[in-house]
Amino acid sequence: MLMCAKHGETGVIPTVSKNLSVAMQKNEAKKQDIATIYLRVYDEGEFLFDQLFFTHKEMDMPHLKDEYLIENDDDDALFSRDVNPFFSGGAYCVKCFKEYMEKIGFDLNNLRTSSGLTI
């Protein structure tokens, strides 16, 4: 939970990168700036879950991959090392995130996986 100035006590979407969060707060992120990372997690060959991360195309994606697969502890460690730093200090009010994406015309209903935006 988080206290949003506009929405009060509300849910958080943690999978928004720091750079994208800042750009959105400044109202500078445009539709073409939004990129996603698709993560799939397996344990001993068994599918556990998938997750979508929202990033800033120009600031984040030169350093990151479009898709990540975690199948073992090594993959997990690599993901934590390479990707997590970009999300540290990120996160967004779920409602503000949806409103912003709607405003710039980014379609959240047509993503590679459920974005976890449950309201």
Q: Which residues bind Zn ion (CB under 5 A)?
A: 4, 6-7, 93, 95-96
Based on CB atoms, which residue is closest to Zn ion, 10 or 51? 10
Least Cβ distance, residue 32 to Zn ion (angstroms): 24
Based on CB atoms, which residue is closest to Zn ion, 70 or 96? 96
Based on CB atoms, which residue is closest to Zn ion, 4 or 91? 4
Distance of CA 25 to the CA centre of its chain: 15
Per residue, what are the HEC states of 28-49?
CCCHHHEEEEEEEEEECCEEEE
Least Cβ distance, residue 94 to Zn ion (angstroms): 7
E-only strand ranges, 16-98: 34-43, 46-56, 67-70, 92-93
Least Cβ distance, residue 98 to Zn ion (angstroms): 9
Tell me the helices (H) and strands (E) count for the chain, helix number first: 5, 7
Least Cβ distance, residue 6 to Zn ion (angstroms): 4
Based on CB atoms, which residue is closest to Zn ion, 6 or 26? 6
Residue with the two structure tokens 């988080």:
2
